[in-house]
């Protein structure tokens, strides 16, 4: 049986699913998120590794060191290049971070905070949410 939330890359070759309802949903304006997403910010949330299931495709991982100084793997579809999830986060062991835009049904899943607002560009308006200059504490 399919899990509650399903997601995929742009070409549909990478598919994954999980049951956990997203809790800590962050809009992150950091430089890494800008570079990796190509946008002003990235929106993502954590899912326990034990619940996360890859259904199809062979995502490729790119390891790098984030602005925080901690390592992580960004996984993307080698066919279409879409970024799909992050794993092996030194700061959050056992958690997979999924990007909101990968979800098949993103409606109703809303951000709860904004972080790295010191990197927010002047034209981007703050949402009516808790604001954090860098990492939430």
Residues that bind Zn ion (CB under 5 A): 9, 11, 13, 28, 30, 33, 77, 79-80
* DSSP for residue 47: E
| Residue (77 or 100) nearer to Zn ion, CB | 77
Which of these, 93, 11, 96, lies nearest to 51 by C-alpha position?
A: 96
Instruction: Tell the smallest beta-carbon distance from residue 7 to Zn ion (Å).
Output: 12
| Residue (30 or 43) nearer to Zn ion, CB | 30
Question: Which strands, in side-by-side order, build the sheet including 26-28?
Answer: 60-65, 71-76, 83-87, 95-99, 42-48, 26-28, 113-115
The C-alpha torsion from 132 through 129 and 50 to 107, rounded to 10°, is -140
Instruction: Tell the smallest beta-carbon distance from residue 42 to Zn ion (Å).
Output: 6
Which of these, 71, 111, 99, 124, lies nearest to 10 by C-alpha position?
A: 99
Instruction: Tell the smallest beta-carbon distance from residue 76 to Zn ion (Å).
Output: 8
| Residue (25 or 80) nearer to Zn ion, CB | 80
- Looking up tokens 């390891």 gives 63
Instruction: Tell the smallest beta-carbon distance from residue 37 to Zn ion (Å).
Output: 9
| Residue (19 or 28) nearer to Zn ion, CB | 28
């Amino acid at each position: 049986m399919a899990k509650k939330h399903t997601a995929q890359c742009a070409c549909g070759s990478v598919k994954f699913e999980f049951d956990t309802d997203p809790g800590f949903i962050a809009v992150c304006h950091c430089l890494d998120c800008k570079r990796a997403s190509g946008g002003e910010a990235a929106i993502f949330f954590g899912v326990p590794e034990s619940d996360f299931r890859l259904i199809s495709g062979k995502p490729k991982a790119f390891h790098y060191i984030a602005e925080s100084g901690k390592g992580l793997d960004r996984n993307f579809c080698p066919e279409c290049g879409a970024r799909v999830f992050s794993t092996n986060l030194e700061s959050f062991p056992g958690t997979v971070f999924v990007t909101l835009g990968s979800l098949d049904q993103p409606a109703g899943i809303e951000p709860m905070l904004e972080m790295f607002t010191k990197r927010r560009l002047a034209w981007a308006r703050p949402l009516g949410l808790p604001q954090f200059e860098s990492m939430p504490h």
